Homo-oligomer: A and B are copies of this chain.
Amino acid sequence: MKDSPEDLIVNAILDAIAEQRLPAGTKLGEQALSDLFSCNRANVRRALASLAAQQVVELRPNRGAFVMTPSPKEARDIFQARRAIERTIARHASGQASAGDITFLRDNILEEAAARQASDKPAELRASRQFHMRIAKIAGNLVLERFLSELTMRSTLILGLYSPTGSSSCAEDEHDRIVDALEAGSTDELVRLADEHLRHLEAGLNFDEPPAAPMSLREQLMAPGKES
């Protein structure tokens, strides 16, 4: 049941992106990764190819792999697609939630609120993502679940780039009302809430500012505006 080194790398990078520890544009050097996971470069290469196929990593020939930097146009497409998919998921999840699902979701809301109080952004993002993914699981369609997984990942990158305030995460009372509708089995209401929720998230974006500076390990470590 143990994972291949390739899966290990893929999941580690996906997790890091989902929690905004890896910002858009970060270079993913092959040596660095093979050192970190103590495996050979061939495995790293395959992992990066997988991530590139999921549009989470950009592969520039002879330059290396970088965490994808979504353009404003891509951001629009991603949120549009996400609304379509989460609406469908909502429709299929409605009335299908078990008691365990509901308690999980309610606990998750508390967990996210606590993380926000503690200013623990990674934990907050992780909780928020889990919320959406759990509902996808309730809907019971593995294809939609995988699509949503990719889209939430890329949404996180977008929020990191274009969300000026820390307004990145979801409004909690919206999550609350979604669970209410889910539990009550009021399908139309649930779909409406899901759509609205994502529109609010998208409305918080600001594409006027430049897409923020690119990233490299060096730049992150050096104090801004100072040379050695």
Binding site for B on A (CB under 8 A): 4, 6, 42, 45-47, 49-55, 61, 74, 77-78, 80-81, 84-85, 87-88, 92, 141-144, 146-147, 151
Question: Which residues of the partner chain B approach A53 to less than 8 Å between Cβ atoms?
Answer: 49-51, 53-54
| Nearest-Cβ distance from residue A58 to partner chain B, whole angstroms | 14
Alpha-carbon distance A78/B144, docked complex (angstroms): 8
**A77 contact from B54, B78, B85, B141, Cβ within 8 A:** B141
Q: Which of A51, A54, A141, A151 has the most CB of B within 10 A?
A: A141
| Contact sample, A vs B, 23 pairs, CB 8 Å cutoff | A4-B61, A42-B42, A42-B45, A46-B49, A47-B49, A49-B49, A49-B53, A53-B53, A53-B54, A55-B146, A74-B143, A77-B142, A77-B144, A80-B141, A81-B88, A81-B141, A81-B143, A81-B147, A84-B85, A84-B87, A84-B144, A85-B85, A147-B147
Q: Which 9 A-B pairs have the closest CB atoms?
A: A53-B53, A84-B88, A81-B143, A50-B53, A46-B49, A49-B49, A77-B143, A77-B141, A49-B50
Residue of B nearest to A81 (CB): B143
Question: Which residues of the partner chain B approach A81 to less than 8 Å between Cβ atoms?
Answer: 88, 141, 143-144, 147
Question: Which residues of the partner chain B approach A77 to less than 8 Å between Cβ atoms?
Answer: 141-144
Question: Which residues of the partner chain B approach A85 to less than 8 Å between Cβ atoms?
Answer: 84-85
**A74 contact from B52, B84, B142, Cβ within 8 A:** B142
